[in-house]
Each structure stands twice: as structure tokens, then as C-alpha cells.
Structure 1
């Protein structure tokens, strides 16, 4: 095979309509090529071209190998066919810098102008195919009109970049384990002795991982997600899910909860936190995790919803699906942000649930809403007292009135709107409901921050679901670790001789015991409780370090439930007797709860045996 061609061959005209790499002869005659011209004469390169080829793929592969050895990139160009046939007659492969860039219209504004990489390089190769399918080289021009790539830069040539099996397997395995693509590529570069020895660039690695992720959803993202839900349901019979579609059959909203989440809700579902402030998928669906607190004071997911919009109808669908899937158990309290759509949905779907607003969101707005001059600081203090420090509705009204007068805020629209819903955010109006001491939705927001690492704004629905599954697995592992510590280590009470504290070590987890011990010691040693003479539901509490501080503590009992009334009053009287015993130097022997009362204790206060089993 003779390769002794010169540049004059570029001017030849072929009968099959050859365009010679998209270069017209007239254009080449007019253009002055940059100097110096680089001519590559290499025996190894010559052997690459002499290798036998049998199809277009092999021809392209051989010329790419030759190009990598020399230091340039390859593009596919003109193809000629035999008359009345789809059989290839000629096939051209050209240098990546062949041709010239079209001039841009200066009147059209563009955000980014790409650099001009075209130099009109004449290098090319033409294969001719006979009627029997035999491939041979007809024309070859090896002259380049630019400096070729150095050995350390050849990995950047486009036609030299490919994803080998080894690199693909390493990237696939590491990213599935949660390692970032950039870190996985850095590991590959270190193992191969530098990026110049790799068969791909960092951009190729990112593109490969993106294609891998897209392959998960070959039949569409929604279909892939539903198929995954079906697989989970086959593995876990308690796994439940629901979807909402529009008239055209497109997915609007979906919700899911697995078996362990449903069991957790049965144990710890009296108080839930609901927040939709984060969107972590490429469809901009809002993520709505429903979060609770377990017996170790850790976050626990009861279910996760994704909503296409934050309208009343979407929230109503989500809450109805949540209650139906979670065995129609309504929570006692739900914490949300100050969203009107959520409020209307809760009012309709959870009529017996106390709706509480996040105090953190409200207090955060205070500095931008109130401007009272020199009295601003005092007004802020009174507002904060109205949020958390008022122990009765009467005290709230007095404090609120003082704040309004001090700041001359009689017609302040924001404060008027807040006062109308004060029962949703002030603790003074929620003494009668179990709330676990929660005042904000920050537990749910922290959940969203954690989910941010598991799912990105470019994630598909399937990826978001799998990422949240990994978050739940990590949380459950933390819960099992705490279960193990509670089983294997005994809690040491602050007062070892106290039978009450010793009894508490048997019924509380480590975290809840520390909270119980603090409250008990403060209540017994720092407070005095006296029962009112005029009412069985009124008690007087005062600090021992300030005998002049006496405030009435009003306990409201549900008159429609005689058993609850009896148990509440009995417990309060025993607490009063215990306080008097401490004051009189007596030693209480056990926690003030009767056998009947023990059956009413919340499982989130006790070590629930069902929660101690491996999951």
C-alpha cells in the first residue's frame, strides 16, 4: 500500500461527489495556512494504517489509534455509497481541525463564545470499499498545519477519550457507595499514575455517571419509580404508597411509607413535624418529609411525599394519603410553617389535631416587621415572653397588651394577624395538649439538610427515593446503636439512694432519663407546689429561692372523660404530696403513678420492647 501522497492530491476531484472534509478547492486557494506545517513520518504510525480493516468501525478505530500516536483528534466526514444501494463505497476520516468556523452574526447576542479550534488542516484518510466489501486506503494526507499534542496532553484529544471497562467499573462502584464523582476520578488518577495515563477526562467521568443514572429510568422516570415501589412492596408487605396523576396521565404527587416507618408512627406518632421548604430533584417537586421523634430523642421518618405544587388541593391529597396509609391514626399535634394552604388542608383533613406554628420562623421575621425606636429591645423581649414564657392565657393577654402600649403598635397589621392565630404559636394556649416541648419545625428542616447530601437538584425521582432510603437506613442504624447501649449499660442516677430515680432508670431510655432526672430534681428541690383550697384544679407553684414569687397554675381537665380527670387530679395531688414530703424531710419511695396510671404512659417516654428488636 503506497502512502506517498502530497498536498496537491487535496485538489483532486472525485466522481462520487467527494467534498474532501467539507473544504472547497476555491476556499483553500484563498486561505493562507498558519506556519509551521508539521509532517509526521513514523514507522509505528505507518503500521497502524497498514492493519487490515473489514468495516467502518474498525477503520475509524485504526485511524484514531494512529491519531493518538501522532497527537491529533479525528472526525468522521463524507461517506459515499454504491449506486442504488446502501453499501459504503468510500469513507473519509479527517483531522479535528479541518475546515473553518462559520462567522457569527455580531447582531445576535450570545452568552458564551466558543474558541476557534479550526485551522483548515488538510490531514485526512479515505477508505474505498469494493463490491465484495474489502476495505483499502485510497488517499492519505499526513500533513498538519498546527502543532500536534505533546505526550502529556494526548489524553485530552477528543477521539482518544473513551471510558474503559476498568474505569467504568470503579466509577460505578464508588458513586453507588455515595462517593462523589470528582473524588472517584481523583482515586482513578492516583491509581493510574496521573490523569495523562487515564482513558477519560473528569468531564467524561461526569458524563458517564449521568448516563448510568439515566439508564435506571429507561421507560421513564415515573414508570421506573412505580416499578421500584412495586419491588419494595414485594419485599416488605407493609410498604405502602400512593400517587396522584392528572388527566393526561402525568405524575403530579406521590407519597410512600415503609413497614418500619408505619410501626414507628404507631409508637411515636402523637406529634409530627411537616415542612416543605426544600426541593431536591430536577423536576423542582417540593419534598415533604413527615418527621417525628423516637424514644432516643432522635428524628424518625414516618413517610415522605413529593408535591408538584404547594396548593391546598395538593396538601389535602397528601394528608389524606398519609392518614389512610398510617391506619387512620390522627396525630395529637402537627407543627408547620406559617403557610395558609397547609393551614386550610389541616383544618379539613385533621380536624381533631392541634395545629402549631413554628416559633422560629415567626421570631425570625420580628426584626424586619417591628421598628419601635429606643423601645425595640424591650418590645422584642415582651414578644418572646408571649411566645414561650407565659404560663396562662391571662398572663399572655397582659404581656401582649403591655407590648402594644410600649411600642404604640395598636394598628400594626402583622401583629394583629398574629394575635388572631395566637392559639397556634403561643405555648400559653397549648398547655392542655401533648407537644413534647417542640416549638419549631427545625427537626424537619435538619432532615431536609441531610437529604440535600442524598439527593441533588438534578436528581431524578428514582434517585431521590433511593437517596432518602439511605438516609432512613442511617437513622435506623443510629437507633439500633442507642438501643444496644441502653440494653448493655445501666444508667447511674445522680442520687443512687433515690428509689424514684432508680425506678426511672428502668423505664426510660438514656436520653429521656437525663431529661426526667433534670426535671425531677428541679421540681422537687427548686419548686414548692401547694393545692388550692377553693378548686381541685388549681395549684400554686413558687420557687424556693424566692418565696414571694407565687403564681397560680391552672390545670384544665376534660370533664367529658371521668377516667382522665380522675387520673390527672390523682397525679397532681401525689406530686403535691411528694413536694410536701421533700419539704418536710420525708423520703418518697416510688414514682407517683398507680398501676392503672402506668397503662396510660406514652410509649415515647418508655423503653418500648417492640422498639428494642433488631430491624
Structure 2
């Protein structure tokens, strides 16, 4: 229960409720407290060594497990780890990666850095995690290199949070301009437009800046100078580049880990807490897999391609695809056709929500295999065909979504499932192709045996030799301590508005 932030006293009361009465419990609340205290005393200065030994044991029993650590002056400084499931998740969903540091995860104030992505159910999935003692260039350089050593391949796109201290100046930057104009909504519409090109963004940005007289604004100019690092328009050519647009997924992942962990945790307990959260995350993934496999099709659009989409995609993704099919039927229409070599170019007009503005996109269609791509780059951005393509498919009476490479492999496996020789032959060819594309590398680390007493059975034991690793030194970190961020006018107004009015007994008015 301590892995779920339940103390020994409450744990005892809960156990009494479950068992029926105190007589059915072995031990009193005092015994529970003594055991908890004894556990912390047993860990004490062996905390770091216990964690490393547990990771070594895990590696010895499962070579696919990866971990790395750094020791300076005998004290643990960095540690990174990823199990076999995390590595498989990265191979399947590692196109876009997000990571964001979170604080106060253990008694040494080490910074927890989980690496997060999105799976085919549009849910959070973990690719690995790390604990670092400081936020320096060397720390993150070591961290990212360890991640690359583990997975052997770089992600296409990495998302990280901008310095939180930049949020506060926004109020000071815009001032009355935000309060008395619609510049905020206009900038949001411009920034999050997934269809425009970088050139179009730059011309519209300059137009807005000139309209509101913000040419000399230092913060806006700084953000424009680094636009290629944060603007979605600059990542539209990267496959799955818009699967995640902010670190909100990462922050959600951090929040789930904090449900179990506290700033008073030892490293051993923190690792156990994280294992518990990962198990919960993966259990949820299995539930979504079951819901997808057991769901029955219920058509609502009247298109044959809708049924094929239901068979191809997970339940959550199918809902998004069905929406695109419907939009392609009711909001898009072909206005021009042009033949180019072996392809046909279609000009597709799209009506926006207000129905009074239209945008024209080009869709290239290959009649030989029914492959299609559009200038809106919907498939490149999020891996799903967009309404523009479905509009052309409806006109060409295409009732099946063309299979990509992964679907082709899956089909072959399904056909060869009962043919062991054919399946082995197919697997060997895939392995040969895989070895040509990339090579795997694993980091070997010697393992240490441990074993003894109840504490040792729970958290392990250490062999205190010459290479004994001491616990890290607690340090002051960014975003932590008594010094809080600058309080702006917006925060003050919110605080005032949250105060309940008090009735004056003398004048009878609320003040």
C-alpha cells in the first residue's frame, strides 16, 4: 500500500476492513509502523546500490532489458532504463517522442525524465525513463545518448517544453493588446493551422504584427526567430509530425507517476512505484486491445469503405477515420481533373465550418494501386487518410483502403499462421532485410546476486565492495523551492475573483 501513498496506519485500517476484524490481522498498527521504519533504516545509505543491483538482476534474467548509469566521486549521478516492452513500444510508435522533466520525485531531489509517445489507441505509452541529478547540458547530452544506445534509432521528432519562465512575460508582452483586441485568437488560428506552408505562415505573421503595431516587441521577435523549432507548419513533412504538438501528453504521464511517488521516497521505492504505474498503463492498453477485437461494426455513413476502415484500425482511430470519410462525403467536392503521366491530379474544394470559406487542395491518385496523396499532407502528419482523399475515393468508387507495408506483413503472417515452414521462411527473409537496414547493439553489464531476510526479499540486498555506489547529494533544482514565479496581473485577478464576498453586519452590504 505504500506504493500507492498509503501510510502504515491507514494500511492497517484498510486491511482490518478487508479481513473483517483486528483479530484476523497479524500485527498491530505499531507493528506496521515499525516494519515501515525498519525498511527505511535497512535501505538508508545503500539506496543507490540496491537500485543498481536490482537493475543488474533484471538485465541478467532478460537481456532485452537496458540500463545505464554514471557515478561521480562514488555517488550516483545519472540513471536511465527501459525494459523489453518499452523497446517494442518505441519500434512501433517511436516516430514522435516527448520528454519533460518533473521534480521532487525522491528524497535526493533527483529529476525524473520519462520518455513518452502515443500508441495506436491514442493513449500514452512509455519508451523509457531516467533520473538525473541536475539540468545541465552535459546531463541531457548523456541522457539522450543513453536513449540512443538503448533503442538504436533516433526519433523523427522530439518535443520538449519551453522554459516555463517564458509563460509569465506573455501578459506583460501583450498588455492591453490582448485585452482589447482579438490578437490572441488570431495568433492561435495562425500557429495551429496544420495546412499552411512556412512561407504562408511568415507572410500572415508579418501582416498581424504590423496590424497591431508589435514590430518592436522583443518576445514576439525572439519567438519568430526560433519558429522552425516550435511551429507545426515546419514539421508538416515529417511522418507523424503532428501526432503530438505539445508536451501535454508528457505532463499527463508525469502526473500519473506522481500519483504513487512522493518527494520523501527512497530510490528503491520510487522504482517500485514506477513499475506499478507501468503495469497499470500496459493493463489499460490490453483493455483497449480487447475492446477493439470484440467490437461489432455498426455503419452510419452508408459507404463500403467504412467497413474496411473498421477492420483495419483500432476502435479509437476508426472513429477519427469515419469522421474523415463523412467530411469527405459532405464537405468536399472535386472541381477539376488533370492527367499527369501515370497519375491523375484532382482539385478538391473543402468547405470550412462556416461554409462561406473554401480551400482548394490537390490530390494525386494512382489508378494502378489506388494510392493517393494530397497537398494537405494529412497522412504524413498523423498517419491517417484525410477527407480530401476519401472524397476522391468516393468518386472513383474505391471501397477498400490501400494496404501499406505493415498491413501487408500482417496479412502474410495471417495466411501463413498454420504453415510452420512457410512462416519460418517468411520470418528469415524479414530478418535478413532487417539486418540490412540496421544493426542492433546491446550494452552488457555484469550482474550481482542478492538474497536474504524479509527486507532483502522485498527490495534486495547489496554486496558492499570497493565499487559501492553512494546515494546522490540532494541539490537545489529549477522550479523548486521557496522562490516562485513572478505573479502577474492575471493571477492576482483570479485570486481576487476566487474570494467569497463577506457580509458587513453594520451596513448590510457584501464587501
User: Relative to structure 1, is the Cα distance of residues 184 and 454 closer, same or farther in structure 2, using a 3 angstrom cutoff?
Assistant: same
Equivalent residue, structure 2, for 1:126: none
For residue 338 of structure 1, give the secondary structure of its aligned residue in structure 2.
Answer: coil
Answer yes or no: is 1:221 the counterpart of 2:47. yes
User: Relative to structure 1, is the Cα distance of residues 429 and 505 closer, same or farther in structure 2, using a 3 angstrom cutoff?
Assistant: same
Equivalent residue, structure 2, for 1:522: 327
User: Relative to structure 1, is the Cα distance of residues 412 and 380 closer, same or farther in structure 2, using a 3 angstrom cutoff?
Assistant: same
CA contact (8 A) 2:351 2:359 kept: no
For residue 245 of structure 1, give the secondary structure of its aligned residue in structure 2.
Answer: strand
Which residue, 474, 481, 496 being the options, matches 2:280? 474
By how many angstroms is 1:481 displaced?
1.4
Equivalent residue, structure 1, for 2:290: 484
Equivalent residue, structure 1, for 2:400: 590
For residue 373 of structure 2, give the secondary structure of its aligned residue in structure 1.
Answer: helix
Which residue, 236, 255, 259 being the options, matches 1:453? 259
CA contact (8 A) 1:376 1:407 kept: no
Q: Which has the larger radius of gyration?
A: 1
User: Relative to structure 1, is the Cα distance of residues 176 and 274 closer, same or farther in structure 2, using a 3 angstrom cutoff?
Assistant: closer
Answer yes or no: is 1:440 the counterpart of 2:246. yes
CA contact (8 A) 2:70 2:76 kept: yes
- 1:278-293 to 2 correspondence within 5 Å? 278-293=103-118
Which consecutive unaligned segments of at least 5 residues does structure 1 have? Answer: 1-173, 340-359, 558-563, 610-615
CA RMSD of aligned residues (A): 3.8
CA distance in 2, matches of 1:512, 1:363: 33
For residue 297 of structure 1, give the secondary structure of its aligned residue in structure 2.
Answer: coil
Which residue, 221, 238, 241 being the options, matches 2:64? 238
CA offsets per residue over residues 212-250 of structure 1, 9 Å max, x none? 1342x266111101111012123322111000112x121
Answer yes or no: is 1:269 the counterpart of 2:94. yes
By how many angstroms is 1:373 displaced?
4.0
Answer yes or no: is 1:428 the counterpart of 2:254. no
Which residue, 278, 282, 299 being the options, matches 1:493? 299
User: Relative to structure 1, is the Cα distance of residues 388 and 369 closer, same or farther in structure 2, using a 3 angstrom cutoff?
Assistant: same
CA distance in 1, matches of 2:55, 2:389: 56
Which residue, 205, 211, 214 being the options, matches 2:38? 211
TM-score by length of 2: 0.67
Equivalent residue, structure 2, for 1:571: 373
CA contact (8 A) 1:531 1:576 kept: no
CA contact (8 A) 2:334 2:346 kept: no
By how many angstroms is 1:464 displaced?
1.0
CA contact (8 A) 2:332 2:348 kept: no
By how many angstroms is 1:428 displaced?
2.2
By how many angstroms is 1:509 displaced?
0.7
Equivalent residue, structure 2, for 1:335: 159
- 1:163-562 to 2 correspondence within 5 Å? 174-175=1-2, 179-187=6-14, 191-192=21-22, 206=33, 208-215=35-42, 217=43, 220-246=46-72, 248-326=73-151, 328-339=152-163, 366-373=170-177, 376-389=180-193, 391-433=196-238, 434-495=240-301, 497-530=302-335, 541-543=349-351, 549-553=357-361
CA distance in 2, matches of 1:476, 1:252: 29
By how many angstroms is 1:374 displaced?
7.1
CA distance in 1, matches of 2:258, 2:105: 7
By how many angstroms is 1:402 displaced?
3.0
TM-score by length of 1: 0.56
CA offsets per residue over residues 25-83 of structure 1, 9 Å max, x none? xxxxxxxxxxxxxxxxxxxxxxxxxxxxxxxxxxxxxxxxxxxxxxxxxxxxxxxxxxx
CA offsets per residue over residues 238-269 of structure 1, 9 Å max, x none? 111000112x1211100000011111111111
User: Relative to structure 1, is the Cα distance of residues 177 and 430 closer, same or farther in structure 2, using a 3 angstrom cutoff?
Assistant: closer
By how many angstroms is 1:484 displaced?
1.7
By how many angstroms is 1:465 displaced?
1.0
CA distance in 1, matches of 2:400, 2:352: 23
CA distance in 2, matches of 1:429, 1:501: 32
By how many angstroms is 1:387 displaced?
1.6
User: Relative to structure 1, is the Cα distance of residues 548 and 580 closer, same or farther in structure 2, using a 3 angstrom cutoff?
Assistant: farther
CA offsets per residue over residues 571-600 of structure 1, 9 Å max, x none? 349986852574x6x743222x2x5xx216
CA offsets per residue over residues 179-212 of structure 1, 9 Å max, x none? 433422444788449xxxx9666xx855642331
CA distance in 1, matches of 2:284, 2:389: 40
For residue 280 of structure 1, give the secondary structure of its aligned residue in structure 2.
Answer: coil
Which consecutive unaligned segments of at least 5 residues does structure 2 have? Answer: 376-384, 415-511
By how many angstroms is 1:379 displaced?
1.3
CA distance in 2, matches of 1:394, 1:478: 42
CA offsets per residue over residues 450-486 of structure 1, 9 Å max, x none? 1112211011111111111110101111111121222
For residue 243 of structure 1, give the secondary structure of its aligned residue in structure 2.
Answer: strand
For residue 310 of structure 2, give the secondary structure of its aligned residue in structure 1.
Answer: helix
CA contact (8 A) 2:99 2:114 kept: yes
CA offsets per residue over residues 156-189 of structure 1, 9 Å max, x none? xxxxxxxxxxxxxxxxxx5467643342244478
By how many angstroms is 1:569 displaced?
7.9
Equivalent residue, structure 1, for 2:433: none
User: Relative to structure 1, is the Cα distance of residues 309 and 601 closer, same or farther in structure 2, using a 3 angstrom cutoff?
Assistant: farther
CA contact (8 A) 2:115 2:129 kept: yes
Equivalent residue, structure 1, for 2:482: none
CA contact (8 A) 2:4 2:273 kept: no
For residue 467 of structure 1, give the secondary structure of its aligned residue in structure 2.
Answer: helix
CA distance in 2, matches of 1:503, 1:418: 44
By how many angstroms is 1:397 displaced?
2.1
CA distance in 2, matches of 1:441, 1:338: 9
Higher relative contact order (CA 8 A, sep 6+): 2
